[in-house]
């Protein structure tokens, strides 16, 4: 190899592999209080959790929780819509202070960012036609299940029920349309998405969500923070618990997912979620 090429390659390699020297950071929560603004990474395309309503406002269950947290901290709130593909990068580059954006707490992710206690458990389940008689994962043997081409269900359904056939679709509306036409027997994803599809159907009562015991997977949604910032994590944990104790959490739940919402879901639909609450 010519020396010049070697030089170019080596310098490229050096740039890529150079270790970053990180200054000891102030806890995020102190920076936020000093700045007077909390910048939260949120979803703008997750129905009922973080989405844009008819008036163009960013609203939802997660938005209500974080708005209340900002109020308790006494700071202004700035919402930054994030995508699954850029949310961690935005957090690590300090463009946002935290993520409350349907991030499930996994061990593998915990090696990259830190998480608070979960604020919701979201089971992944199946939407079927009531007349089909499917009531459990076992009934899915030999049936067709529709999923989104990019979703985790592509891998998880064959693990939960190897005898089911997975058909992928461009998006959830297409998968649900296939269920209506009968080309698939079930649609698999997060229960909130499924409840939303069901409510939007011409005859919602023709469809049912499989209940507890037939969840094929699920995730604990938690607020994601940068690594090694236990002061901020403590403070957010306490605030989340305060929200649970004084009913703020329940109000947000009722408004967006529960009895006051179109979805009319109950805590049983969320595997009887109960927040961890620590004594004083």
Partner 1 sequence: MHLDWAILWGNPGLLILQGLLVTLQLSAWTLLLAFLIGLLVGVVRWLGFRVAEPFCWLYVEVARNTPPVVQILFWYFSASYLMPGWLFIGLRDVGYEFGAAVVALAIYHGAFIAEVVRAGLNSVPGSQFDAARALGLRFRQSLLRILAPQAVRIALPPFVNEATSIVKNTSLAMAIGVTELTYQYKHIDSFLFRGVEALAAVTVIYLMLCLVIAGLGHLLSKRLSKHVARRDPPLALTSE
SS3 40: strand
Choose between 6 and 149: whose C-beta lies nearer to partner 1.
149
132 versus 165: smaller Cβ distance to partner 1: 165
Least distance in angstroms from the C-beta of 101 to partner 1:
12
- Nearest-approach distance from CB 206 to partner 1, in angstroms: 22
Closest to partner 1 by CB, 2 or 55: 2
Binding residues for partner 1 (CB under 8 A): 16-17, 20, 22, 84-85, 88-89, 92-93, 106, 108-109, 111-113, 144, 149-150, 152, 154, 165, 167-170, 174, 183, 227
How far is it, in rounded angstroms, from Cα 84 to Cα 97? 16
Q: Which is nearer to partner 1, 84 or 277 (CB)?
A: 84
Query: Which is closer to partner 1, CB of 93 or CB of 250?
Result: 93
What is the three-class DSSP state of 15? helix
Residue nearer to partner 1 on the CB measure, 2 or 20: 20
Residues 261, 254: contact at Cβ < 8 Å? yes
Distances, alpha carbon 190 to alpha carbons 2, 32, 142, 160, in Å: 55, 33, 22, 15
Residue (of 74, 78, 66) closest to 38 by Cα position: 78
**What is the C-alpha separation between 24 and 31, in angstroms, rounded?**
13
Helix (H, G, I), strand (E, B) or coil at 47: coil
**Cβ-contact 191, 169 below 8 angstroms:** no
| Closer to partner 1 by Cβ: residue 132 or 168 | 168
From the CB of 167, what's the least distance to partner 1, in Å? 5
What is the DSSP code string of 73-132? HT-EEEEEE--TTTHHHHHHTTSSSEEESS-B--HHHHTTSEEEEEEEEEEEEEEEEGGG
How far, CA to CA in Å, does 261 sit from each of 91, 192, 258?
A: 31, 12, 6
Alpha helices, DSSP H, located in 169-262? 172-181, 191-200, 230-245, 248-256
């Amino acid at each position: 190899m010519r020396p010049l090429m070697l030089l170019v390659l080596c310098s490229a390699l050096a740039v890529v592999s150079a270790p970053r020297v990180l200054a000891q950071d102030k806890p995020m929560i102190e920076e936020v209080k000093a700045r007077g603004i909390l910048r939260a990474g949120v979803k703008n395309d997750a129905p009922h959790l973080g989405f844009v309503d008819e008036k163009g406002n960013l609203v939802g269950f997660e938005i209500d929780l974080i708005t209340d947290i900002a109020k308790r901290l006494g700071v202004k709130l700035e919402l930054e819509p994030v995508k699954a593909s850029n949310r961690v990068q935005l957090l690590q580059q300090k463009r946002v202070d935290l993520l409350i954006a349907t991030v499930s707490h996994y061990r593998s992710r915990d090696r990259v960012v830190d998480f608070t206690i979960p604020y919701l458990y979201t089971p992944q389940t199946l939407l079927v036609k009531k007349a089909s008689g499917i009531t459990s994962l076992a009934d899915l043997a030999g049936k067709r299940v529709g999923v989104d081409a990019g979703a985790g269900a592509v891998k998880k359904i064959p693990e939960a029920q190897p005898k089911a056939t997975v058909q992928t679709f461009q998006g959830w509306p297409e998968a649900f349309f296939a269920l209506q036409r009968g080309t698939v027997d079930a649609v698999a994803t997060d229960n909130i998405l499924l409840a939303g599809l069901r409510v939007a159907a011409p005859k919602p009562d023709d469809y049912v969500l499989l209940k507890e015991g037939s969840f094929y997977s699920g995730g604990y949604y938690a607020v994601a923070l940068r690594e090694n910032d236990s002061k901020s994590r403590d403070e957010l944990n306490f605030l989340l618990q305060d929200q649970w104790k004084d009913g703020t959490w329940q109000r947000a739940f009722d408004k967006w997912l529960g009895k006051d919402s179109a979805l009319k879901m109950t805590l049983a639909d969320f595997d009887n979620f109960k927040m961890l609450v620590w004594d004083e």
